[in-house]
Amino acid sequence: MARDKTNMALRASICIVIFLAACTQPPPEPSSKTAAPQSTATIQQTALAAAATSGVTATSTPPKSPAVTATLPVTPLPTPLPTNSPPRAAEFSPTPDPYVLLSVEALAKREYGGGKLEILQTVEANDHFSRYLITYPSDDLSVAGFMNVPNEGSKFPVAIVLHGYVPPAEYETLAYTQRYADTLAEAGYIVIHPNLRGYPPSDDGPDPFRIGMAADVLNLIAIIRQQSQDPLGPLRRADANDINLWGHSMGGGVALRVITVNNDEYLKTAVLYGAMSGDEVLNYGRIQQWSGGLRGDFELNASPETLNAISPINHLERINAAISVHHSDADDVVPLAWSTDLCRRLEARAHPHECHIYSGAPHTFIGVWDELFIERTIRFFNQH
């Protein structure tokens, strides 16, 4: 009962934020998109309409040079959520303190999961894997996305791929992150790519400090754990004891929160790519700039003590997952200093990690930068 009350109060705490943001537009943050993606929004919409840095020393050369070299400072890695669905937000009264249940500690105490991941449509089948449009419940929302499943074999490790910020009206399910998901599937991973709340055709919902998006991932992890036991279900070939996260920009910030909240041993690794900070003062100071002051008031109005309790950067001791950090020294969207600070903190804690700086690359890598990044990602996942 205490846990149920905690869950109920948490949902209410998050819901209060809706009233503070209801009259604003989504922030015009710098987009993670590069070249125009393959257009599959029509397929997605149709299917859902029918169903619903020690320092950082690793470097890589820019594309003008045909050779890419790197020294990889890898810290040695030792071999290293509950299940019920939380109550719907409409079923309880708001807590007087809208921040109290947004802390890392509070998030770690609530329950996740409930419901099932469902396949809506097969959209591609090639020599290596099949791609499906999927949906699953997250709290009282429906989250859409796609899943790549290798064609042959069983007990595949799972990679959850989290996209960066794109204006929701421009978002397509099969966008720039598809190439990363496809390469991971070819390497033998079941890849699940959720759209996250607010990205159609997923439902929109409360998302202070992007904690709602983190809940979408935490719910997904719990569902994978539960549903992998179903011999006839779509996740029957998933190795629920080997789950890995990959997040770009906004998605990297979400991934850092997830591995801070969920520190179970089955959550093996996280790749943070041009990621937002674990310090919410830094994040929302930047988001206010991007949005012209339309976003971030609620988050930055919290007391310093509250912001410390909410920001993952202050709770790195909770993390068990090995971390691989990738960032460009030419990133004009997310400051490199945010990643180098994280790397120094991990080094000071002797936490299993590796950190790479890419010389001259844009925020979303291209060319040989991207090739090297993908190679390192697969090696890191396989190593751990």
Domains and CATH numbers, the chain: 2-27+45-383 (3.40.50.1820)
Mean pLDDT (whole number) for 189-193: 98
Q: At what angle do helices 211-227 and 250-261 cross, to 10 degrees?
A: 60
Q: Are strands 141-150 and 118-125 parallel, antiparallel or unpaired?
A: unpaired
Q: Which residues are CB-neighbours of 77 under 8 A, at least 6 positions away? A: 322, 352, 383, 384
Contact 196, 216 (CB under 8 A): yes
| Per-residue pLDDT, 75 | 34
- CA angle at 167 for the pair 373 and 371, rounded to the nearest 5°: 10
d(CA 41, CA 175): 9
Q: Which residues are CB-neighbours of 382 under 8 A, at least 6 positions away? A: 187
Better-predicted residue by pLDDT, 148 or 50: 148
Helix (H, G, I), strand (E, B) or coil at 122: strand
Residue 362 pLDDT > 60: yes
State the DSSP H helix or E strand holding residue 143, giving kind and residue range, or none if neither: strand 141-150
Tokens 């929109």, residue located:
204
Least confidently predicted of 74-78, 162-166, 222-226:
74-78
**20-29, 32-41, 94-103, 248-257: range with highest mean pLDDT:** 248-257
Q: Are strands 353-358 and 322-328 parallel, antiparallel or unpaired?
A: parallel
pLDDT digit string (tens) for 276-290?
999 999 999 999 999
Is omega for the bond preceding 208 within 30 degrees of 0, making it cis? no
| Per-residue pLDDT, 156 | 98
Question: What six digits make up the tokens of 383?
Answer: 């190593």
Question: What six digits make up the tokens of 285?
Answer: 């100071």
**What band does 87 get if pLDDT is binned at 50, 70 and 90?**
very low
> Per 3-state DSSP, what percentage of the chain is helix, strand, and coil (rounded to 5)?
35, 20, 45
d(CA 71, CA 123): 40
Contact 132, 146 (CB under 8 A): yes
| Per-residue pLDDT, 96 | 79
| Per-residue pLDDT, 32 | 65
| Per-residue pLDDT, 268 | 98
